[in-house]
Amino acid sequence: MKPPSVEETIFPDFDTFGSMEQHSVEYKNSTINYYRFGSGAKLLFAFHGYGEDGLSFRILESSLGKEYTIIAPDLPFHGITEWREGLDFTVNELLDLLVLCGRPISEPMSLLGYSMGGRIALQLLQTIPGSIKKIVLIAPDGLHHNFWHSFATQTWLGSKLFSYTMHHTGWLLVLMRLATRLRLFNKNLINFVHYYLDDVSSRLILYRRWTTLRKFNTSIGLLKKIIRENHIPITLLFGRYDPIILTKRGLNFQKGIKEFVTVKELEAGHQILKEKYSQEITAMFTA
C-alpha cells in the first residue's frame, strides 16, 4: 500500500463561487480525487449521483461556504478518480477515504447525497451514526430495496446475467418494449434505460459502477431505529416528475419517524442538483 499523499490545486475566484480546492489522494493502488468548497467551521461530506462528480456541489459554495466546509469526492469510476482495486469498494474503504479527504470520522459531520450518493450517505448513517449531525438527501437511491438491483449485484446468478446483459442487450430491450405495451413501464423509464444501454461504453461503465457499489446495502428498519435513537434530522427532497426516484419512497420511509424526517417536493424531474434549486437545498441546512 502506498503511503497517503495529497496533491493540491487551488482555483481562486472560481466563477461566482469563490475559491475551490482540488485534491488528489493516493490510496492503495488508486488515486482519489476530491474537491473542497467553502471554509466554514462545520464539516459537510457530499456524495454525487451516477455519472457525475464532486464538482456538482460547487453550486452550494456561495450559499453554504461560510458555515460549512464541503468535501466532495469523485466516487470510484467517476470523475477523475482512478480506481484500481477491481470491481470492489467497501464501507471500510469509504471510511478510510473520508479520513484522507477530510478529518477524523469521530468529528461531527453532516451529509449530503444526491441520487446514487444518497445510498452512500445512508450507509454512513448506519455505520457511524454517532458522528452524523444532519442529513440532506436529494432524489436519493437507497430508501427501498429494489429486487432487480439486489438480484443483479448481490447474487451469483444475477451477477452473471447482469454481465451478459451489458454485453448483449437485445433480449432486455425487447422485453421492456413488451412491458411498455402492457403498461408495466412508462415511456420516460424506457427512454432512461435507452440512454444508458444503447451505447456500448456506457453499458460497460454502468456495469462497473453498479457492481463496485454492491456492498453498500442498508436496512430500512435499522436506519429508522438509528434515526429515532440518535435524534438525527433528515430532509428528503424529490422532483414531482422524477420517473425513477419517486416521492412516495420518502413518504414511506418517513412513517414512524416523522418528527425527524422532512419530505419536500419540487416542480422538477430527477435533475435537482442544479443552481436554480440551490436556494431550496441551502435552506435545508440553514433551517
Residue 80 has pLDDT above 90, yes or no: yes
Regarding whether 96 and 26 lie in a shared domain, the answer is yes
Q: What is the pLDDT of residue 108?
A: 92
Q: What is the pLDDT of residue 182?
A: 59
Regarding whether 153 and 126 lie in a shared domain, the answer is no
Q: What is the pLDDT of residue 245?
A: 92
Could you tell me if residue 1 is inside a domain? no
Regarding whether 166 and 116 lie in a shared domain, the answer is no
Q: How many structural domains does the chain have?
A: 2
Regarding whether 239 and 103 lie in a shared domain, the answer is yes
Residues 3-21: b if buried by 16+ CB within 10 A, e if exposed: eeeeeeeeeeebeebbebb
Regarding whether 152 and 38 lie in a shared domain, the answer is no
Band of the pLDDT at 3, cuts 50, 70, 90? very low
User: Domain holding 137: CATH number?
Assistant: 3.40.50.1820
Mean pLDDT of 186-197: 60
Q: Three-state SS for 182?
A: coil
d(CA 99, CA 84): 19
Kindly state the percentage of the chain with pLDDT values over 70. 73
Q: What is the pLDDT of residue 6?
A: 45
Domain end, chosen from 167, 197, 212, is at 212
Least confident piece of the model among 175-179, 230-234, 243-247: 175-179
Cα dist from 143 to 116, 129, 194, 245, 264, whole Å: 11, 17, 24, 9, 15
> Strand 20-27 relative to strand 30-37: parallel, antiparallel, unpaired?
antiparallel
Regarding whether 238 and 164 lie in a shared domain, the answer is no
Could you tell me if residue 268 is inside a domain? yes
Helix ranges (DSSP H) in the chain: 61-64, 91-101, 116-127, 147-154, 156-167, 170-181, 187-197, 200-212, 220-230, 247-254, 278-286
Least confident piece of the model among 130-144, 201-215, 217-231, 273-287: 201-215
Regarding whether 129 and 93 lie in a shared domain, the answer is yes
Q: What is the pLDDT of residue 113?
A: 98
Q: What is the pLDDT of residue 127?
A: 96
Q: What is the pLDDT of residue 205?
A: 80
Could you tell me if residue 56 is inside a domain? yes
Give the model confidence (pLDDT) of 46-60 as tens digits: 999 999 999 999 999
Q: What's the domain range around 169?
A: 147-212
Band of the pLDDT at 14, cuts 50, 70, 90? very low
Residue 193 has pLDDT above 90, yes or no: no
d(CA 171, CA 162): 12
Regarding whether 177 and 63 lie in a shared domain, the answer is no
Regarding whether 160 and 36 lie in a shared domain, the answer is no
Could you tell me if residue 189 is inside a domain? yes
Regarding whether 266 and 232 lie in a shared domain, the answer is yes
Could you tell me if residue 132 is inside a domain? yes
Mean pLDDT of 169-174: 60
Could you tell me if residue 39 is inside a domain? yes
Q: What is the pLDDT of residue 255?
A: 95
Q: What is the pLDDT of residue 12?
A: 39
Q: What is the pLDDT of residue 2?
A: 43
Could you tell me if residue 247 is inside a domain? yes
Domain end, chosen from 195, 212, 229, is at 212
Regarding whether 239 and 116 lie in a shared domain, the answer is yes
Domain end, chosen from 190, 212, 234, is at 212
Regarding whether 115 and 167 lie in a shared domain, the answer is no
Give the model confidence (pLDDT) of 83-131 as tens digits: 999 988 999 999 999 998 877 788 899 999 999 999 999 999 999 999 9
Could you tell me if residue 280 is inside a domain? yes
